[in-house]
Amino acid sequence: MTVKQRLDQIREKIEVAASRAGRNPDEIKLVAVSKKQSLDKIKDVLDEGILDFGESRVQELRDKYDSFEQEINWHMIGHLQRNKVKYLARMDKCKLIHSVDSLRLAKKINKRANMEDRQMNVLIQVNVAEDENKYGLMSEEVIDFLTEVSSFEYMKVKGLMTIAPYVDDPEEVRPYFRKLRELAVKIEAEKIPGVEMKELSMGMSNDLEVAIEEGATIVRVGSAIFGPRNYNK
């Protein structure tokens, strides 16, 4: 299958899932996860009108960042080490960090954004499935965390992100997506100054439809767009 055929399929899935849930498909942003994919393949996806790309490692993002003239919106979706934040802060086109998972990291982002005289928009990664192998705050920790970071001037919280466990039947992970949305609703009711709950980043190649039915505003899709990743490179 060509990239265009794959993208057509995904766009169709997004539309069908959105309409099942009575939602407008235009509210759902498709982020193409380009980790371990070549520049040529990224170019094919860009040519199909996708302008949002996600990477999970800072070094790989840096390598790709300067290779394109287009106004790409880059998303950092992977676990972020504090000593790498400075590189992201220098990238104007790094529009959203999906993976804020500790107060120490948040402080570093706020500090580095200040040094670059910019605002960095972030999502808080929540480990709703309480999976020992995954990063993210526990659901019960999130409100205290947000209260702490709400005074940060240069780092702004726009919503939540989660990674569901990998399962064959995506129905199994529906409760986790639902929990993330319920948490966002609860947070909104707290009216924490400066904290927004506009975005829910959830759903990947295998489970994007279920995630959209449960309220995803951003889906992060890799292999279903690009084909399998090349881990040998």
**Could you tell me the two tokens for 75?**
């998303």
Whichever of 36 and 181 has its CB closer to ligand PLP, that residue is 36
Whichever of 50 and 224 has its CB closer to ligand PLP, that residue is 224
In angstroms, what is the minimal distance from the CB of 69 to ligand PLP?
25
Residues 6+ apart with CB under 8 A from 200: 159, 160, 161, 180, 181, 184, 215, 216, 217, 218
In angstroms, what is the minimal distance from the CB of 43 to ligand PLP?
19
In the numeric block, the tokens 């020992």 are attached to 132
* Pairwise CA distance, residues 109 & 119, whole Å: 9
- From the list 105, 111, 154, the residue with the least C-alpha distance to 125 is 105
Binding site for ligand PLP (CB under 6 A): 33, 35, 56, 77-78, 163, 204-206, 220-224
Whichever of 78 and 215 has its CB closer to ligand PLP, that residue is 78
Whichever of 99 and 152 has its CB closer to ligand PLP, that residue is 99
In angstroms, what is the minimal distance from the CB of 191 to ligand PLP?
29
Whichever of 110 and 125 has its CB closer to ligand PLP, that residue is 125
In angstroms, what is the minimal distance from the CB of 207 to ligand PLP?
9
Whichever of 159 and 222 has its CB closer to ligand PLP, that residue is 222
* Pairwise CA distance, residues 5 & 11, whole Å: 10
- Do residues 30 and 221 lie in contact, with contact meaning Cβ atoms separated by under 8 Å? yes
In angstroms, what is the minimal distance from the CB of 117 to ligand PLP?
29
**Could you tell me the two tokens for 228?**
């399998």
* Pairwise CA distance, residues 131 & 149, whole Å: 25
- From the list 154, 28, 174, 162, the residue with the least C-alpha distance to 99 is 162
In angstroms, what is the minimal distance from the CB of 75 to ligand PLP?
9
- From the list 29, 15, 8, 49, the residue with the least C-alpha distance to 161 is 29
Q: For ligand PLP, which residue has the nearest CB?
A: 222
In angstroms, what is the minimal distance from the CB of 32 to ligand PLP?
9
Whichever of 18 and 204 has its CB closer to ligand PLP, that residue is 204
Distances (CA, A) of 134 to 89, 101, 106: 25, 10, 18
